[in-house]
Each structure stands twice: as C-alpha cells, then as structure tokens.
Structure 1
C-alpha cells in the first residue's frame, strides 16, 4: 500500500495496495505464455464465471424441470459456444480499428481478453433458444434459471477485468478510486478512476443476494420467464447508469454501447413481462419451444 505522495519515490513491491487516497493496482494482467497461447487473468476468470453460471443455472433448472437426463451438456455447449461468438463479435465490432491493420487473426485470440458481456448474454440466450427447440422444453424456464446464473457468472468474470484495467473509468477523487501502474496494464497509468467494473460486481451480487433466497417461492407464483426477466431487467437498468462512469465513446443518441444494450434489455423485459402474464392468465397452449419436457 502506498500514498499518492510516495508514487514518485522508490518502487514498492508489486501488489494491489489500498491507501487513504487511492487503490493502486500493480498486477500483471498476463499469467504465462505457452508458445502462441497467452493465459491471462481475464481468460481465467471468464472460464470460472462460465462454470459458476452453468453450475447454478442447471441446478435451478433441474429443480424446475427434474432430471435433465444428460441433456445439460448439450445445452451448455449451445449457450457457451454461441455466447462466446456473440461476446467476441460485439467486441470486435466495437473495436475494429484494433484488428483492421494486419491484426485480423487476433480476432480469434480469446485468451488475450476482449469480449463484450452483453454480446455474451444475448448470444447465450440465442443458444438457449436453439437448445430449447431441440430438447422440446421451455425456453422461458431456461431464462428463469439463467437469471441468477448470469449474475454469479458476470460477477466472477469481472474479477479479471478489475485486474487488467481494460474498461476505463472516469476520473475520481473518492478513496476507492483505482490507479493501474503495471507496465503491462490495459488501464491508464497516472489516472485515478472509478472502478466501474467493481461496481458491476457489487450490482450482480446485490441482485443475487436479494432475489435468490426467494427464487423458488417467486418461481411458483410467477409465469415462466418473468423471474428471469426481473434479474436481467434490474441488472440492465443498473448497468445503464453505471456506464456513465466509463469513458467509452458514444455510439447512438449520446449513449455508449453498453447503455444501448442495457436499454434494449430493459425494453424487452418491459414488453415481455406483461405478455407472459397475459398468456399465463389465458392458459395459452405452449409451442414446442415453450413447452415442458417431452
């Protein structure tokens, strides 16, 4: 730990250090390179986040659907693969200038970091829909189970972002502001900024802590899909406002990309929830994609 006045003096041991003025993060975002493969903290925590999301999501889905009889592996494959494709595609689209000048092969270097969480979430939802069609059970029940799964997965995944500093926050003088000083950091050395991704971790854990203890009781009282949309809708609303603390460029009507995606998720939730309520109250017969187990 060191105070701001000490930054010009002797170099302190590399670590994450808390002071009365700022949190100084001096962690190398890269763990090891094995040949062409670069292992990063971002990649490690992304994988751990996927594992955590799958564990809690399928646990809740089995509580609702019963034994999945080996189908969970198929579902996991669809959601992870399509989710990763969506996450990388949206990131590449946002940052195409990085890859445009002889760096096109880096688009496939997932271990180096560079994924969009909203791209991953929307991609995973598409994968879940495909799996629901193939397995002939409720897509909306997957959304219900996926809500808390996504919250824990996002929280774990953000640990890697806190370490590497790639999501630049706005300047702050608050005592929990962070400064990245490692030579390999993706942050902005010399600037004390909001730890916006840490705020997102807190948001996800708060949503999980407030709703998950009552998940099963709420699930019994709400139409399929509504509970999951509550998770995603609250997260999206919170993420919209937290994104003001980032320096990402505006892409549409003065909004950053994450805000556009967050607003879209909120709109989807606002429209879908009353539709699901009406369908449940009318006893509308489910389609194969929204039916229970075959």
Structure 2
C-alpha cells in the first residue's frame, strides 16, 4: 500500500465561454512574466529601463516559442510527418512539445538583433536574464505536471508521481511507453519536480555569484554558468525519463545535446574571462544609451 505520493491533476484545461484555456500555456505565460520581472529589476540596476526590456521581450518571446517548437519538430518528426502523424499538430503547442534549446537560440538571436539595433550591450543583457530564465523554466515545468507527461521511470520513493488514469490529461493513458503494462498504483519519478528544484537552486546561485563576483567575472559569465548549470541537471534528469525519444549509441538525443552544450558553455566561460569586458564598463555604456534615449524623447 502506498502511503505517500505526489498526486496528478485530473484536468489539464478549462473553458471560459467558447475559449479553452490550457494550464500548460498558463504555466509558460507565468514563467515569462516572472522572467521579465526579474530581468527588469536587474537591468534597471545596471542602468536600463523597463521599456527597453519590454521591447526586447516582444521580440525575443515570439521568436523563442517558434524556435522551441521547431526544435521539437526536428527531434520528433514522426509525431507530425510519420505514418500516424498529423502536420496540423505542429501548431497545437498547448498539447506540449517545446524544446528549450530551440527557444534559447531563436530568442537570443532576436534579442541580439534588437540590442544591436538599439546599441544595448548584449552580454550585460544575457547576465541580467540568466536567473530569470531558470525561474521561467522551473515554472514552465508545472505544465508537464498538468499534462501528465515527460515523467520518469517507476519508483518506490515517497515522492513518486501517481497518475490520474481516470482524468482527461494528455498523459493519463501513457503509463509505460515501452509497451508493457505497469501494475495499478505504480509511481513514477516526478522529473518535472526535479527540474523545478534544480532550476530554482541554479537561479539563486547565479544571483549570489553575480553579487559576490561582480568585479571579478567578465560580462556574460553568468549566462555561461546558466548554460552549464542547466545542462548538467538536464543530463541526469533526461536519463530518468521513459517517454519515447530518439537515441544515438543507446543514449537519448537530448542527453547528447546537453553534454555538448555544457562543454560549449564551459569553453565560452573560459574565453570570456580572457577576452570579455567588465560588467561595470558595459553598465556605464547602457546608462549613457539610456540617457541618450531619454533626451531624444524629451526633445
């Protein structure tokens, strides 16, 4: 008899009149709002304004969502183009399926383009947004809990996830992806919770490191540390998951991607310490640009 477990929601959506609201989308939206709030506070401290972050957000968020979806489509093409695939499913992001690295790459490119256009220091922005990204990713993982998807292997731990098989959530009938039947009452590793905790710890560490080593680390270092922290956690968490995924040499593709990106993040960190610019210098450049924008508006 199981005495302790994490229950799963019985629903993943609700309706307001003719509109269907998905909890997955609400979690992503909540994560974005928190990330913008955190980034704005850090950006203001560096000499910027909320309006600047708002403009960057309006460019980066749509690009990031598109990139995240493109990454998922590329890594799981059979869901959309296979014998049983449905290409229209590409546009139904509320059903799950966003790849973080596609989102980071596309979002970063859009932010870089806007920063270049407005003469904002991109490395400084990257450091300001790094903790907020981890918080946003942590909140976004709650969407997997509502969808009952992307959980880990069976476990007997007291914090195991119990699926609500009587519900209508996406993963309610997908207890075992290997085709076998799990005994009634089987609990699963709550990988969404593991990643939430890992990301929140990482966000706190980045803020602490940034405060303690502001004059030591070169600008952009916090973002490199974000990449290393997230990929380190994603590697071991991904190994726990039992949902279908393409493999290479018996290892899930996302594990390979995480390891490669971790190495790239480490290399970037080393290069930044040798060739990067001081955060104080870029903050002064941002303050100058902010004052120039303010004087232009007043004129």
State the TM-score bracket (shorter-chain normalisation): 0.7 to 0.9
Q: Give the match for residue 50 of structure 1.
A: 32
1:28 and 1:150 map into 2 onto residues whose CA distance is 27
- 1:136 counterpart (119, 135, 139): 119
Name the counterpart of 1:226: 221
Structure 1 residue 34, shift from structure 2 partner: 5.6
CA separation in 1, counterparts of 2:16 and 2:76?
24
Quote the residue 1:245 is aligned against.
240
**Counterpart mapping for 1:48-197 below 5 A:** 48-64=30-46, 66-68=47-49, 70-100=51-81, 101=84, 103-181=86-164, 182-187=166-171, 188-189=174-175, 190=184, 191-197=186-192
* Displacement after TM superposition at 1:131 (Å): 2.0
Alignment correspondent of 1:279: 275
Which range moved further: 208-217 or 132-141? 208-217
Report the 3-state secondary structure (helix = DSSP H, G, I; strand = E; otherwise coil) of the residue aligned with 1:38.
Answer: strand
Tell me how far 1:53 sits from its aligned partner: 0.9
Q: Distance in 1 between matches of 2:49 and 2:62?
A: 20
Q: How many residues align?
A: 270
Return closer, same or farther for 1:206/1:225 CA change in 2, 3 Å cut-off. same
Structure 2 unaligned regions, length at least 5: 176-183, 290-299
What is the rounded CA distance, in whole Å, between the counterparts of 1:33 and 1:263 in structure 2?
Answer: 43
Moved more, 204-213 or 98-107: 98-107
Task: Give the Cα separation in 1 of the matches to 2:259 and 2:85.
Answer: 34
Distance in 2, matches of 1:292 and 1:26, equals 49
Deviation at 1:52, TM superposition (A): 0.7
Pairing 1:266–2:262 present: yes
Q: Secondary structure at the match of 1:31?
A: strand
TM-score (norm 2): 0.81
Measured against aligned partners, the alpha-carbon deviations of 1:151-198 in whole angstroms (never above 9, x if no partner) come to 110111111212212113111111111121243223334542100111
Give the corresponding residue for 1:38: 20
The 1:249/1:109 distance shift into structure 2, 3 A limit, reads closer
Shift of 1:201: 0.2
Aligned to 2:292: none
Q: TM-score with structure 1 length normalisation?
A: 0.82
- Tell me how far 1:88 sits from its aligned partner: 0.8
Equivalence for 1:235 = 230
